[in-house]
Copies of this chain bind each other. A is one copy, B any other.
C-alpha cells in the first residue's frame, strides 16, 4: 500500500542506497533476495528507534541516521558478524518536510558507506506519531563461529572495550542537562551522536571470547544478561572499569560512578574470555584500534554484581536503563 509520493521517494532517494547490490532487486520487488555465502550463517538484528525515546525530537537528520544504523550494527558486532546489508522501515510524521527527509537519506548513505552496507529493502509510510525507524541489519558469520551470550563459564575473565560513561553523559549533553560541565562534554556528545560499533573487535573475538554483548542497557545490566544466559555470576570491579575523560571530570565534580555503570548506551563490547587466553586479548589490544580492559571474573552464582577489591559491594540505585 503506497501512494505515488512513496514510489518517487524510493526511486529518486532510496535507490542510490542499494549501491547496485543484486539482493535489492532494484527496490522494485516485494522482498529482497539474498544469496548467502557458502559456509556462512545469516545474522539478523532488528530494533526500532522512536523519536523522543531513542533519540531526541530535535536531533539533526545526520544524528538520527547515524544512531539508527550504528546501534543496530553494534548488535552484529557483539556476535562477531560481518555486516552486509539492511532493510529500513521508516514511518514519517508530516512535520518532517522534504528537506529533512532528503538530509536524512543523504546521511544514511554516508553512514552505510562507512560500514560497507547496502540498502536492500523495507518500506516508507506515514504516521500521525513520531518518526519511527525500524532497521533490520543483515550480517554473515562463518557457520558455528558466532559469539553468543550463553558461553561464559566459571573462571573466565570479563573484559570491556574502550571507555564507559560517554553514553550516559553524552545523552545529558544532547539534552542540554549538564551546563555545569560545558568544557568536558563535546567528546561525550559525539559518542551519543555517532556511537562506534566495535565490528572489527567483534570479528577478532570469534574463537576467543566465550560470550559477548554490546553495552546498551548499561554495563551492569548487560553483564547480568551474560550471567543469566550463561547460568553463572559475573563479578565486576568498579575501580577497574575504564571511564572516559569526560566521565573522569564528572566524577571529580561529585558524579557517582554507579550512575555511569548503569547508564547505558556506551556501545562498547563486554565479553568473557578463558583466563588462559589473557595474552591473546592483550595482543589484540596492542594491535587493535581500541583499548581492552580486564574488569572482572566469572564465578558460580547468578546475576552480575559490582564488588570493590576490598569486598564491598557497590549498590547502584537502579540496574539498567529504561530509555529517557
Chain A residues with a Cβ under 8 A of chain B: 1-5, 25-26, 28-36, 41-48, 50, 52-54, 74-76, 78-79, 81, 87-91, 93, 120-123, 125-130, 132, 134, 136-139, 141, 143, 146, 148-150, 213-214, 216-217, 225, 228-229, 264-265, 320-323
Min CB distance, A8 to chain B, in Å?
Answer: 12
Residues of chain B lying within 8 A (CB to CB) of residue A47 = 89, 122-123
Contact A28 B127 (CB under 8 A): no
Contacts of A48 in B (CB 8 A): 89-91, 123, 125, 132, 134
- A81 CB to nearest chain B CB (Å): 7
Q: Say which residue of B33, B50, B87, B139 sits within 8 Å of A127 (CB atoms).
A: B50
- Flag if A42 contacts B46 (CB, 8 Å): no
A46 proximity list for chain B (CB < 8 A): 87-89, 121-123, 134, 136
With beta carbons under 8 angstroms apart, the residue of B36, B76, B127, B265 that contacts A1 is B265
Q: How many copies does the complex hold?
A: 2
Docked-complex contact A1 and B54, CB < 8 angstroms: yes
Residues in B with CB closer than 8 Å to A216 are 1
Task: Contact check, B53 vs A127: say whether CB atoms are below 8 A apart.
Answer: yes
Contact residue among B30, B35, B50, B126 (Cβ-Cβ distance under 8 Å from A41): B35
Kindly state the separation between the CA atoms of A134 and B127 in the bound complex, as whole angstroms.
Answer: 13
A sample of 15 inter-chain contacts (CB < 8 A) reads A1-B265, A28-B225, A30-B45, A33-B42, A33-B79, A33-B146, A35-B41, A46-B87, A46-B123, A46-B134, A48-B132, A93-B129, A127-B130, A132-B132, A134-B136
A150 x B89 contact (CB < 8 A): no
Could you tell me the distance between the alpha carbons of A47 and B29 in the complex, rounded to whole angstroms? 13
Nearest residue in B to A141 (C-beta to C-beta)? B33
CA gap between A79 and B34 in the complex, in Å? 13
By the criterion CB–CB under 8 Å, are B130 and A31 in contact?
A: no
Q: Could you say which of B3, B25, B50, B76 contacts A148, with CB atoms under 8 Å apart?
A: B25
The closest CB in chain B to the CB of A214 belongs to: B30
- Please measure, in the bound complex, the distance between the C-alpha atom of A245 and the C-alpha atom of B122, giving whole angstroms: 34
**A264, B265: Cα distance in complex, Å:** 42
Report B-chain residues with C-beta under 8 Å of the C-beta of A30: 45, 74-76, 78-79, 149, 213-214
Task: Enumerate the 10 nearest inter-chain pairs by beta-carbon distance, A residue then B residue, closest first.
Answer: A129-B129, A3-B322, A134-B134, A30-B75, A31-B45, A48-B89, A46-B87, A34-B42, A89-B134, A28-B229
CB <8 Å contact, A50 and B122: no
User: When chains A and B are docked, how far (Å) is the Cα of A303 from the Cα of B123?
Assistant: 22
- Contact between B29 and A79, CB atoms less than 8 A apart: yes
Q: Complex Cα distance A48/B50, Å?
A: 13
Q: How far is B123's CA from A216's CA once the two chains are assembled, in angstroms?
A: 13
Q: Are A148 and B29 in contact (CB under 8 A)?
A: yes
B126 contacts A323, CB within 8 Å? Answer: yes
